[in-house]
Amino acid sequence: MRVLATKNLSVSFGGNQVLKDINIHIEQGEIVTIIGPNGSGKSTLLRAIIGAQVPTSGKVEITSKQIIGYVPQRLNIDETLPMTVYRFLSLPRRQQPGDMDAALQQAGLSGLGKQPLSTLSGGQFQRVLLARALIEKPSLLLLDEATQGLDHSGSADFYRQIERVRQELGCAILMVSHELHTVMRTSDRVICLNGSICCEGAPEVVKVAPEYRLLFGLDDAEM
């Protein structure tokens, strides 16, 4: 079942066309990764999907009753605020303790609700953001560079958790990354974006695609 599709989605800022005729689709239970260099329009695409960015032309089709969970790339949160995880999860809307505990468990943070935010590691904080996106039991989860700032093992752990989330909730997951090798194992499909879609397919296919290798300046020795 299709969860989401975009139809010739284009976004311009002034004369600067950032997204051009983007056609993507996500099926239920799929993990799809959008990969592309800085400034290639990845965040803009996610923002268009959640309705925070109005397309210049084209549209986003979301199957009715889909609940979207979203972890933005940048959050204006002071992690040192004297606030517990529970309190943070209750912003901006009050949440039921049972729902918060379920979301924390799904994010791999069981029992951490009463912990102050300031005591969490970077990886744990990213999972708190994941938990917050899971509270409403989304059928589509959008993650914008959710492992930014984590080291290799931290980001591998995070992606393992994402696979568990998919298994447990059966939701579709659309994530943004700028590194293919870290998402290879986790993704069913990869879409390589550079303003327009330059190639897409299974990770092993994209990895050897000339368009992808050219975009990231990889030579054959790195295959």
CA dihedral 83, 88, 92, 93 (to 10 degrees): -120
Nearer to Mg ion, 76 or 153 (CB): 76
Residue of 10, 30, 36, 131 that binds ligand ADP (CB under 6 A):
36
Residues 99-138 as x/- pattern, contact with ligand ADP by CB under 6 A: ----------------------------------------
The contacts of residue 22 (CB under 8 Å, 6+ apart) are: 6, 8, 9, 10, 45, 58, 193, 196, 197
* Residue 72 touching ligand ADP (CB under 6 A): no
Q: How far apart are CA 176 and CA 48, in angstroms?
A: 14
* Residue 39 touching ligand ADP (CB under 6 A): yes
Pick what 36 binds: ligand ADP, Mg ion, none; C-beta below 5 to 8 Å, kind-dependent.
ligand ADP
Q: How far is the CB of 65 from ligand ADP (least distance, A)?
A: 28
Written as one letter, the residue type at 125 is F
Residue of 33, 40, 43, 53 that binds Mg ion (CB under 5 A):
43
Contact footprint for Mg ion (CB under 5 A): 42-43, 73
